[in-house]
Chains A and B, each alone.
Chain A
């Protein structure tokens, strides 16, 4: 989803029961990396997150899961849980990288309870409410 106010994209995560939504604001190229994986597009050359996966594959390191841990203003945190040689590693990442990688590795994406309660879908609803019909016109121009 495109946000004309912030010139950014919104990745909308939904929980398994489709009841809760978690919007995450990301940049254009980050959104591209996520949507390519969602649509199963195979680019002619490996994109950054395909390269990232190749790197992990070369060492048989597996992405077990990714967890969105904090989405306060300006602090977007996620953790990537890796399994390598029978040990688990936790790597700090931006949610956009974590999600783009998880989709390529078929790993589950989790969000901390605190993130969901803090964020709920308030911001997204607010943003949707603020949309005016003209905004849609702006996108076409």
Chain B
């Protein structure tokens, strides 16, 4: 599905979901990833409210009466005997992160292109590791700064919630 080349293993840093923050005025959520090895470093990803809630449910290990969308993906994997190996946040283009889900069956590995929110939601349910490539980690600081500045600017100008149609 994806044309993204599998990144070299040594360039992957493992992260875990640390917490989900709510940004009330924009109805978005911030998924805060932290380094698995304990090194102090957090990696925030802005996601929609529904996407954030799907991650929160998995993070809190909540059992819902009916399977949620990512439970269904997991269920498909179980039916097809496919293992969800790992998810990798592999690219960032104009403030948008791109993730790749690695799946395997009968010794063959395949990759599926996904939004980080879907990848993380699935990883938490499938209990597989979440990685960020070194390349994305080096390139993110400016991207985040830009995103923050853009947010700050829009607030300071005092024209919130007005969208040109």
Q: Which residues of B contact A80 (CB under 8 A)?
A: 72
Contact (Cβ within 8 A) B73 A46 = no
Given contacts A54-B1, A58-B1, A91-B76, contact A49 B69 (CB under 8 A): yes
For the complex, would chain A's binding face be called helix, strand, loop or mixed by DSSP majority?
Answer: mixed
C-alpha spacing A113/B114, complex, angstroms: 37
Complex interface bits, B68-95 against A, C-beta within 8 A gives 1, otherwise 0: 1110110111011010000000000000
Residue of A nearest to B66 (CB): A94
Give chain A interface residues in 54-77, CB to chain B under 8 Å: 54-59, 61, 74-77
Q: Counting CB contacts under 8 A, is A20 at the interface?
A: no
Contact (Cβ within 8 A) A52 B75 = no
Q: Which residues of A contact B67 (CB under 8 A)?
A: 92-94, 97
Give chain A interface residues in 31-69, CB to chain B under 8 Å: 32, 44-49, 51-52, 54-59, 61
Q: When the two chains form the complex, which single residue of A45, A52, A74 contacts B76, counting CB atoms closer than 8 Å?
A: A52
Contact (Cβ within 8 A) B66 A76 = yes
Q: Counting CB contacts under 8 A, is B96 at the interface?
A: yes
Contact (Cβ within 8 A) B50 A82 = no
Given contacts A61-B80, A74-B65, A82-B79, contact A55 B105 (CB under 8 A): no
- Give the total number of A-B pairs whose CB atoms are below 8 A apart: 83
Q: When the two chains form the complex, which single residue of B50, B101, B105, B115 contacts A29, counting CB atoms closer than 8 Å?
A: B50
Given contacts A51-B115, A59-B82, contact A45 B72 (CB under 8 A): no
C-alpha spacing A57/B101, complex, angstroms: 14
Contact (Cβ within 8 A) B72 A93 = yes
C-alpha spacing A51/B69, complex, angstroms: 10
Given contacts A45-B96, A45-B115, A46-B113, contact A59 B73 (CB under 8 A): no
Given contacts A29-B50, A59-B82, contact A51 B73 (CB under 8 A): yes
Q: Which residues of B contact A61 (CB under 8 A)?
A: 76, 80
C-alpha spacing A88/B149, complex, angstroms: 52
Contact (Cβ within 8 A) B65 A28 = no
Q: Which residues of A contact B1 (CB under 8 A)?
A: 54, 57-58
Q: Among the interface residues A44, A47, A76, A77, which one has the most CB atoms of the partner chain B within 10 A?
A: A47
Query: How many whole Å from A94's CB to the nearest CB in chain B?
Result: 5
Residue of B nearest to A78 (CB): B66
Q: Among the interface residues A45, A82, A91, which one has the most CB atoms of the partner chain B within 10 A?
A: A45
Give chain B interface residues in 111-140, CB to chain A under 8 Å: 112-115, 118
Chain B interface (Cβ < 8 Å from any Cβ of A): 1, 48-51, 54, 65-70, 72-73, 75-77, 79-80, 82, 96, 98, 101, 103, 105, 110, 112-115, 118
Chain A interface (Cβ < 8 Å from any Cβ of B): 27-29, 32, 44-49, 51-52, 54-59, 61, 74-77, 80, 82, 84, 89, 91-94, 97
Sample 11 A-B pairs with CB under 8 A, ordered by A number.
Answer: A28-B50, A29-B49, A32-B50, A46-B114, A48-B51, A51-B101, A75-B66, A84-B79, A92-B67, A93-B72, A94-B68
